[in-house]
Amino acid sequence: MANSSVDADRDEQQEDALGGPALLTIEALSERYDESDERWLDQVVDLVDRLREDVGGLERRREPASGQKGGVDALILALGSAGAFEAAVAVFRAWLARDRTRRLRLVVTDGERHRHTVEITGDTIDSRTFHDVAEVMARRLPMR
């Protein structure tokens, strides 16, 4: 399983304390490609580019990971409004629709620091599973 990893509890706590944007961490996964396969890396770069263009506020960080040398890349999306979240969802839909073996793991931490994790595919992006993350984000983000 390929990925581009995720964990931003420390940063989310700092942003919450500062009243900054909500942070959504994103892990891109593939059932078809190894995480170091150039074809997969090109697909992840495409996702990153689209999020930067359409949503903004995307940061790539090297995060330590237990059992791995050097850590993993974390994709962290700062969302300042419900409109930004909707734009991100549109990017997720388009990216997932191009290859049914792709998945995204989204992690958001609510105000009580409970982590909400959901995996979405092209088939589940409109399902109840995705609704749970959308609901958490809607409570945290102002309407714009």
Domain boundaries, the chain: 9-119+131-140
Could you say which of 1.20.1250, 1.10.1660, 3.40.5, 3.30.70 is the CATH number of the domain covering 9-119+131-140? 3.30.70
Q: How far is CA 30 from CA 34, 72, 78, 129, in A?
A: 8, 16, 24, 19
Interval 50-60: pLDDT, tens: 999 999 888 88
Confidence (pLDDT) at 64: 63
Q: Edge-to-edge strands of the sheet including 102-109?
A: 58-63, 72-79, 22-30, 102-109, 115-120
* Long-range contact pairs involving 15-19 (C-beta distance under 8 Å, separation at least 24): 15/78, 16/111
Give the three-class secondary structure for 22: strand
Confidence (pLDDT) at 32: 93
Per-residue model confidence as pLDDT tens for the chain (144 residues): 454 433 334 344 434 433 456 778 899 999 999 989 999 999 999 999 999 999 988 888 776 666 666 656 778 888 777 788 889 988 998 999 999 899 999 888 666 666 778 888 877 776 666 666 677 676 666 655
**Whole-angstrom Cα distance, residue 92 to residue 78?**
15
